[in-house]
Structure 1
Amino acid sequence: MTDIFDPATLGPVTLRNRVLKAATFEGRTPDALVTDDLIDFHREIAAGGVGMTTVAYCAVAPGGRTDRHQIWMRPEAVPGLRRLTDAVHAEGAAASAQIGHAGPVANAASNRVPALSPSPMFSPLSMSRMRVPDEHEIAEVVAAHANAARLAAEAGFDAVEIHFGHNYLVSSFLSPKLNRRKDRYGGSTANRARLAREIALAVREAVGDRLAVTAKLNMTDGVRGGLEVPESLQVAAWLEADGALDALELTAGSSLLNPMLLFHGDAPRTEFAKVLPTPARLGFRVVGKKFLKEYPYREGFLLERARHYRRELSMPLVLLGGITNLETMELARAEGFDFVAMGRALLREPNLLHRIRSDAATRSACVHCNACMPTIYTRTRCVFRPDQPAEPLSAEPA
């Protein structure tokens, strides 16, 4: 008998089952505030049976967005977020807010605020140099995460997921390739992990035991010279010892340098070239094949790396990557993972869990074409769902 669909605890929260909707930017907030469209998106996911759905992406500061359309956490955002969490709760699911700072992945031209990077870098998104924060500005980033978590609690969220992956700001600090600092935040693994640990502790202090606090952590950046499993595992062990987190969700890849490592399957190069901002579009024509690499899809494609963490850590872990059927969920549970997270399969079929509960042999209709990836600029959706039309958000800075 599977326990996938039994209630499970995540820190102070009891979820109705062990399946989480992974954070996938929804592209439904043209004014950086909650819309009815965004509420309907998460209401449908919640009605489909997940234990918890994750709202992505809630930036901790205006410059922490990948573009100006994303929500950033401020008092004006709370009423809309409260309507969203109320809608999710009415369907029996919990709600998590993914909070973080995009760092070098941010589009400064769109945000009209300089992008941050641990060391000097040039941004292909905004065609400008990024700003290297000093220790005072780093402290401001830490405080901004704590404030975002407090606002999430005020908005009725059950959990926050801190983004430590994909070469967003914290992940870029963890990367030996991107972080070449000479101060307390660069050099050794301990120094490069300092920002992640400070943020986790600040968020926990801000919300106490009112919310579950999780983090999405890169196991590998997927680029030469970047973060790899041995160092990442050491960071995870420090985060566990600090006691601020209720779980880690294990991920991989770099939105900056190698996004396909997270997805696996087809590389939608043509579709991406059509929707990127003009400067990035020109560069993409030259480096598109190298940037969007192809990794053959297989079920549980991050499991092999994630096993290292399960062997070494005692804290709850969330397995992500190629979770589309009951077989893979049960394999994850058999190997000691406390939760599983699904993304693309739920974009294709929000009611997939209900189908699996009715028939254990159910297979997802997702074909791993990844054509959903470029739709972040035109309302995130599965392109094979005719009931999900595009309502474009301009990718260009105004």
Structure 2
Amino acid sequence: MSDVFSPARLGPVTLRNRVIKAATSEGRSPSGEVTDDLIAFHLAFAEGGVGMTTVAYCCVSPQGASAPGQIVMSNAALPGLSRLTDAIHGAGAAISAQLGHAGVVAPRKLTGVTAVAPSRFVNPTSMAYCRAITVEEIRAVIKQFGLAAQVAIDAGFDAVELHFGHLYLPSSFLSPLINRRKDSYGGSIDNRSRLVREIAQHVREVAGDQIAVIAKLDMDDGLPGSIWIDEALRTAQLLDSDATLDALELTQGSSVFKPMYLFRGDVPVKEFAGVMPPALRPAVRLFGKRTMGVYPYQDMYMLDAARQFVPLMRNTKLILLGGITEREHLETGLAEGFDFFAMGRALLREPDRVNSMMLQPDSRSRCNHNNKCMVTVFGRTHCVLDPVQRYGAAVPSASEQLT
């Protein structure tokens, strides 16, 4: 076995290997509570060999939700979350909770309030107005991240992942396009990095050495005039100097504009149109590619940007994301200086992909990057090429059909 599949230390936690199931919206908590379906979803990855699985987008407050059915980290959620962590630990894996506040992406129809941003802003996709957040509200959000981290600790999670990417609220402070503040949270990149540093500092104070603290950070978001790698390197350097994080997971793209910059590959315009209200379907079919963006897929497509961060890290490990599907990708990343590897779509297609790579080094991923799994977040996230997940049951045998 290579070092990729050997135990590795992540802060106070030892993972059985270096592969992490990346956060992917699950759609399995329709009432905002842990369900047996959600547990089975993550259990499949744990039994399939990952070192750690990540529960996607746990809201730090009801106002920070980005979609219906997301779990709000509160004492009310503790019993279900504890059932989830117990199940994953029983399968030998660790589990992380992704903590986030949607900010400009939070829909008023869902939260009941106007979305907040660093400065007044109109979301170009939804055309929804976002008001400027106040300093008092910023302090409240920082505390909410800390309270959410405490819930994760109480529920038995091994790590939390602070969502500082994709132009959700913390990430939007890093963007000079959205952040036009004149106070200590705006202006220079050092000032615009203040919020993510304060959140990380507070969460570390809450967590101590009880759990690992990870942050998901945008290297660039694909919007002209917004986050790009030059300033992202400075943000990463500041976070590393604070020594509040155990690892940074490097990402790209946004939930505000041209989301395919994160995913790459086929653009499922027809499928997205199918889940939209009838009046919007013609516009989605006509302008869907222009709105979502067209970016060809290639293996390890974030590596070129991510390798720029390797020499800067002194206290913080790095997690490589983006087009990692094969064993040789893990070996390449390890040789490049990355410590852990996050996989998303490839594991949706094959939850046991890690076991396959360990036992059959030459096995090839069956994910073909058609990206129709993106549309399934409006129901239950799954790979559309998996009949069991898509239709709910295996096809009965011929003899069973006869009887």
State the TM-score bracket (shorter-chain normalisation): over 0.9
Residues 1:28 and 1:194: Cα distance change in structure 2 (over 3 Å)? same
Q: How many pairs align?
A: 391
Residues 1:157 and 1:317: Cα distance change in structure 2 (over 3 Å)? same
In 2, Cα distance between equivalents of 1:82 and 1:125: 37
Q: Which structure 2 residues correspond to residues 343-362 of structure 1 after superposition, within 5 A?
A: 343-362=344-363
3-state SS, counterpart of residue 26 of structure 1: coil
Answering whether residue 238 of structure 2 is matched by residue 233 of structure 1, we say no
The one-letter amino acid paired with 1:100 is G
| Equivalent position of 2:384 in the other structure | 383
Kindly provide the CA deviation profile for residues 233-267 of structure 1, in whole angstroms up to 9, marking residues without a partner as x. 00000000011100000000011112111111111
In 2, Cα distance between equivalents of 1:91 and 1:156: 14
The one-letter amino acid paired with 2:245 is L
Answering whether residue 148 of structure 2 is matched by residue 157 of structure 1, we say no
Shift of 1:68: 3.0
Residues 1:312 and 1:161: Cα distance change in structure 2 (over 3 Å)? same
In 1, Cα distance between equivalents of 2:163 and 2:284: 26
Contact in 1 for aligned 2:125/2:257 (Cα 8 Å)? no
Contact in 2 for aligned 1:378/1:390 (Cα 8 Å)? no
The one-letter amino acid paired with 1:349 is E
| Equivalent position of 1:59 in the other structure | 59
| Equivalent position of 1:88 in the other structure | 88
Answering whether residue 325 of structure 2 is matched by residue 324 of structure 1, we say yes
Contact in 2 for aligned 1:125/1:280 (Cα 8 Å)? no
3-state SS, counterpart of residue 170 of structure 1: helix
3-state SS, counterpart of residue 161 of structure 1: strand
In 1, Cα distance between equivalents of 2:167 and 2:279: 21
| Equivalent position of 2:308 in the other structure | 308
In 2, Cα distance between equivalents of 1:117 and 1:29: 27
In 2, Cα distance between equivalents of 1:280 and 1:180: 32
The one-letter amino acid paired with 2:375 is P
The one-letter amino acid paired with 1:6 is S
RMSD, matched Cα: 1.7
Shift of 1:280: 7.2
3-state SS, counterpart of residue 258 of structure 2: coil
The one-letter amino acid paired with 1:90 is G
Contact in 2 for aligned 1:34/1:77 (Cα 8 Å)? yes
Shift of 1:289: 1.8
Contact in 2 for aligned 1:109/1:126 (Cα 8 Å)? no
In 1, Cα distance between equivalents of 2:26 and 2:153: 21
Contact in 1 for aligned 2:123/2:256 (Cα 8 Å)? no
Residues 1:109 and 1:129: Cα distance change in structure 2 (over 3 Å)? same
In 2, Cα distance between equivalents of 1:211 and 1:279: 47
The one-letter amino acid paired with 1:373 is M
Q: Share of identical aligned residues, percent?
A: 54
Kindly provide the CA deviation profile for residues 20-61 of structure 1, in whole angstroms up to 9, marking residues without a partner as x. 000001011110111110000001110000000000010101
Shift of 1:127: 5.5
Give the TM-score normalised by the residue count of structure 1: 0.95
In 1, Cα distance between equivalents of 2:310 and 2:277: 40
Q: Which structure 2 residues correspond to residues 1-398 of structure 1 after superposition, within 5 A?
A: 2-123=2-123, 128-276=128-276, 284=284, 287-314=287-314, 315-389=316-390
Which protein shows a greater Rg? Answer: 2
The one-letter amino acid paired with 1:237 is Q
Give the TM-score normalised by the residue count of structure 2: 0.94
The one-letter amino acid paired with 1:388 is Q
Residues 1:98 and 1:283: Cα distance change in structure 2 (over 3 Å)? farther
Contact in 2 for aligned 1:124/1:280 (Cα 8 Å)? no
| Equivalent position of 2:400 in the other structure | none
Residues 1:94 and 1:279: Cα distance change in structure 2 (over 3 Å)? farther
Shift of 1:273: 2.2
